[in-house]
Structure 1
Amino acid sequence: MDVPLWVWGLTILGIVGLLVFDFFFHVRKAHVPTLREAAVWSSVYVGLALAFGVGVLIFGGTAMGAEYFAGYVTEKALSVDNLFVFLVIFTSFRVPREDQQKALLFGITFSLLARTGLIFLGSAAINAFSWVFYAFGLILLITAGNMLKPRGGEDESADNIMVRAARKVVHTTDRYDGDKLFTVQNGKRAMTPMLLVMVAITGTDLLFALDSIPAIFGLTQNVYLVFTAIAFSLLGLRQLYFLIDGLLDRLIYLAYGLAAVLAFIGVKLILHALHENNLPFVNDGQPVDVVEISTGLSLTVILGVLVVTVVASLVSRKGKAQTAIANARRHATAYLDSEYTADPAERERIYGRLLDERDQIIRLGPKYRLMARSEQDLMDLVDRARASHDAAVGRGEATADSWPPPPAPTS
């Protein structure tokens, strides 16, 4: 189905309008979004994406609607996985909490621009060379295998080649100046770490696009549906970050689920390539009679795999313990970092979360209390955070109980 130019125009205008609205009404004034604010606006953007999908169903038919929803769900799941790396970048660069929204919105905007260009390149390649489906399928299978490997360290993810190049070209300060990208230091114009953060997000997003674009083309070759599914999956990602940043480490099986989804789409692409084959060294250049996977089945498999992996992650006691330990380390570090936030209420919220995570570990039982206590760097961070908090509230001394307390001896 060909989409009229006026529909393209209205769609692009609407997406740009949402990004502009986001900037002027949410990001322009630096602040830390409340949980309620993040939840409300995340719901709004998901609602807009679903309403758009219903419109596709009504005006484009069941097949187009199924393709859009399959693409949207897949891209949304991949975008959630991207948040893990954004969290690493923010931690590595010690980005003030109030200013993280601007960096995220920049990353989303650049991502949309970059992926739009890649969408049209991919579409042109598919129309010109049918063997591209083989290439896309292999890319997804390789990506699926790589997702099963342990994640790299923070430095590896944050200090990518674009960041190193930026540091060499432009003089960079060590301190932030609000959310400004440039400042004046010793009478000279210099780049702030905020611009480096945006460069880091840009560099990592280019890598994410290498599996995102083949994945969506494995579900639909309609360029309009590809574009809108990607756009709606990115809109609201900023709010989603602040809504689930404390749960990211909890999704311990998400990488397995995404690997399964990408492998499934990779197989689907290769089967489609065989069905449309014209490579002379494959079946003498003739199409191969193979089963093709329908869009309805694809949507069912994708939803099923993601639901199972997310639910399994949320109920896993190991996942709960890992989340509490990782968040405790992050919150203790943030509390001790004088530049992390200038908002006293935000600092108190961070300390409250730290105490909540202690209580979570205690409730999980002796095994996981020992897991937390075995990480000496975590214990040191927590002790320093408690001493700092006690001094701040005027008590002047840390409480005597250990964090978390050792398991009770068994008789």
Structure 2
Amino acid sequence: MTVSPLIWGITILVILGLLAFDYFFHIRKAHIPTLKEAAVWSAIYVGLAVVFGIVLLVFGDPVMGKEYFAGYVTEKALSVDNLFVFLVIMASFKVPREDQQKVLLFGIVFALIARTGFIFAGAALINAWSWMFYIFGIILLITAGNLLKSEDSGGDDADNFIIKLAKRFFNTSEHYDGDKLVTKIDGKKVLTPMLLVMVAIGGTDLLFALDSIPAIFGLTQNVYIVFTATAFSLMGLRQLYFLLDGLLDRLIYLSYGLATILAFIGVKLVLHALHENNLPFINGGEHVPVFEISTELSLTVIIGVLVVTVVASLVSKSGKAQTVFNNARRHATSYLELEYTADAAERERVYNLLMDEEKAIKIMETKYRNKHPESEEILEQIAETHRQHAGHLPG
């Protein structure tokens, strides 16, 4: 099914309208979203994505509808993985809670622009050289392997090469000035850490695009479906961040699930490349008669893997213990950072969450408690938080 320029235009206007609505009605005034606000708007954006897919199924081409849902689910799962990195970056830069929404919206807009560029570039490459499916497949298989490797603890440092260059060649302040990108110190204009955070988020988005775009091209080569599935998966990511904050660490097997999905799509791409083969050194340049994975099978495998991954993560006792310790560390660190927030209610909220986590640690089985490599350090942070909180109490 060919998509007319009119449909393309309407789709782009709708997406731009949603981004504008997000900025003017949610981001312009810095605030900390409530759990209810995050849940409602996350549901609305997911609902819009589902309605769009149903419209494709009913009024468009059923094949496009199936491809859209397979692409959307895959991209949404990959965007949840993005949230882990965003969480690390904002914790590293100590972004005030009330200003995190602006950073996230920038990340979403930059990701949409970057991925749109990659989408059209990828489509052009595939149209010109069908052997690009081999390349995309290999990229996904390598990415899947990297996801299975143990992560380096040094990865929590957002002070990467680009940031170091920015600090070296530009005047940067050590303190935030609300959500401003530039501020004045002693009459001189300087960059705030907010701009550096956005640079770090933007660089991360580019790296994620290199993985996510080959993944969705493995499910469909329809540029309109690739674009809409990618765009709708990014919509609502800001709200999802605040909804899942504190629960992200619970998904301890997510990397294994994503690795399985990417490896599966990588194999599908290689099989498709063999089916369309025209490289002279493979089967004499002739097509290779291999089994091709259908969209229905792809959708079933993707959803099945995600369900198993999430359920296994949620029921794992080791995962629950790790989540408690990781959340306790994050909340203790946030509380102890005096610049974390100027909002007294937010400080109290974080402290109360930390107290709940401390109770969970106390009743935790010893084998799970001792399993966390930083348990003693985290308990010391909790004790220091108690001391500082006592100093904030009235009287």
Displacement after TM superposition at 1:108 (Å):
0.3
The equivalent of 2:188 in structure 1 is 188
Deviations 1:129-165 (A, max 9, x none): 0100000000000000000112233556522333223
Please say if residues 175 and 193 of structure 1, whose CA atoms lie closer than 8 Å, have aligned partners that are also in contact: yes
The equivalent of 2:29 in structure 1 is 29
The equivalent of 1:320 in structure 2 is 320
Q: C-alpha distance in 1, partners of 2:213/2:157?
A: 21
Please say if residues 88 and 154 of structure 1, whose CA atoms lie closer than 8 Å, have aligned partners that are also in contact: no
Deviations 1:363-411 (A, max 9, x none): 432323444696332122111101111222248xxxxxxxxxxxxxxxx
Written as runs of structure 1 = structure 2, the 5 A alignment for 1:103-182 is 103-153=103-153, 158-182=158-182
Number of positions where the alignment pairs a residue of Structure 1 with one of Structure 2: 395
DSSP-derived class of the 1:107 partner: helix
Written as runs of structure 1 = structure 2, the 5 A alignment for 1:8-407 is 8-153=8-153, 158-371=158-371, 375-394=375-394
Compute the TM-score of the two structures, normalised by the length of structure 1.
0.94
RMSD (Å), alpha carbons: 1.4
Q: C-alpha distance in 2, partners of 1:43/1:93?
A: 29
Please say if residues 324 and 360 of structure 1, whose CA atoms lie closer than 8 Å, have aligned partners that are also in contact: yes
Deviations 1:184-235 (A, max 9, x none): 1122111100000000000011111111000000000000000000000000
Please say if residues 137 and 266 of structure 2, whose CA atoms lie closer than 8 Å, have aligned partners that are also in contact: yes
Where does structure 1 differ by over 4 angstroms across 4 or more consecutive aligned residues? 154-157, 371-374
Please say if residues 88 and 156 of structure 2, whose CA atoms lie closer than 8 Å, have aligned partners that are also in contact: no
Please say if residues 220 and 226 of structure 2, whose CA atoms lie closer than 8 Å, have aligned partners that are also in contact: yes
Deviates most, 364-373 or 245-254: 364-373
Q: C-alpha distance in 2, partners of 1:367/1:289?
A: 53
Q: C-alpha distance in 1, partners of 2:81/2:110?
A: 18
Closer, same or farther: CA 154–243 of 1 in aligned 2, 3 Å:
farther
Please say if residues 92 and 156 of structure 2, whose CA atoms lie closer than 8 Å, have aligned partners that are also in contact: no
Gap regions ≥5 residues in structure 1: 396-411
Please say if residues 176 and 194 of structure 1, whose CA atoms lie closer than 8 Å, have aligned partners that are also in contact: yes
DSSP-derived class of the 1:158 partner: coil
DSSP-derived class of the 1:116 partner: helix
Please say if residues 89 and 154 of structure 1, whose CA atoms lie closer than 8 Å, have aligned partners that are also in contact: no
Gap regions ≥5 residues in structure 2: none
Q: C-alpha distance in 1, partners of 2:191/2:349?
A: 31
Q: C-alpha distance in 1, partners of 2:19/2:214?
A: 25
Displacement after TM superposition at 1:356 (Å):
1.1
DSSP-derived class of the 2:190 partner: strand
Please say if residues 92 and 157 of structure 2, whose CA atoms lie closer than 8 Å, have aligned partners that are also in contact: no
Give the percent of matched residue pairs that are identical in Structure 1 and Structure 2. Answer: 67
Deviations 1:88-142 (A, max 9, x none): 1011101000000000000000100010011000000000001000000000000
